[in-house]
Amino acid sequence: MHLNEELLKRSAAVMRARNRKPIKDVGGMVSVLIPCCKWDKEYLKRTIDSVKDAAGGEIEILSLFDKHEEGHRVLTNRMANKAKGKYLFRLDAHCAMSPEWDLRMKESCKENSVIVPMLDVLDTKTWGFSGKENGIVVLTPSFRNKTILHWKDSRDRNIEEPTMSIIGCAYMIQRDTFLERGSLNEGYGKWGAGGLEVSLKTWLTGGDVIIRTDVECAHLFRPDNHTPFKINKAIMDKAYLDIGKMWASGNGPDQKRPLSWLVNMFKEYIPELNYKENVKKI
């Protein structure tokens, strides 16, 4: 049965209302890290206002403008080193957040975990939510993200749901964990593969990557062919493959789990994918 657009919106609204129950602050400040390139400068203030207005606890907001086109990894690492919070929340510069996003994500953010919100499509006119859901993310054999939009009925979802990978536009991690893992590898290029790097590094070193289903981030999704900044596709493709090959070969830093363990965990969503054969081709 295919759900129509209006029914999907109602389903999302029901889930959000049910899951957003009263919550207490577990403590610890959140440092929000927002790298911003010149094409997103017009959106930055509205993103910051949304983050501040929706927060339920203590936060600080750090934003760096990419004057020299150094890329998101360099800017994120630079802000993480300056951050004072126990938790880091890495966010794109064109987003809106749901109420008490920080309290809810902190509750799930353990020492070796990464927490992401449900993703919605940003309505740039209202700077709000469109009612469109993005569900769990799995990996293709070339280690690219594939979103499973309607992976589980909203009535059957837990507050915490595992996801194989993440988009990388909005995620929380404890600051000490982020720094101890060596931050983001700046050798992987300016753009892309950040979500892959973070998710494999977390899962395969014994951690968890979790969607907090009572938190939403409305994000401005751009089609690949409408990206305003220049992306070196060869460098980005190489980054995805290099990251995938390292973890698939069992050579990731402090790796405790094989990639096959992770694939098996999400096999009901990716039965046709053969990672072993793909690694041989890399």
Average pLDDT, the chain: 88
Instruction: Please tell me the total count of domains within the chain.
Output: 1
- Domain with 13, as residue range(s), is 5-281
Q: How confident is the model at residue 2 (pLDDT cuts 50, 70, 90)?
A: very low
> What CATH number has the domain bearing residue 248?
3.90.550.10
pLDDT over 90 for what percent of the chain?
70
- pTM, entire model: 0.90
**pLDDT tens readout for residues 38-76:** 888 899 999 999 999 999 999 999 999 999 989 999 999
* Orientation of helix 72-82 relative to helix 194-203, angle to 10°: 60
Judged by average pLDDT, the poorest of 224-228, 238-242, 265-269 is 224-228
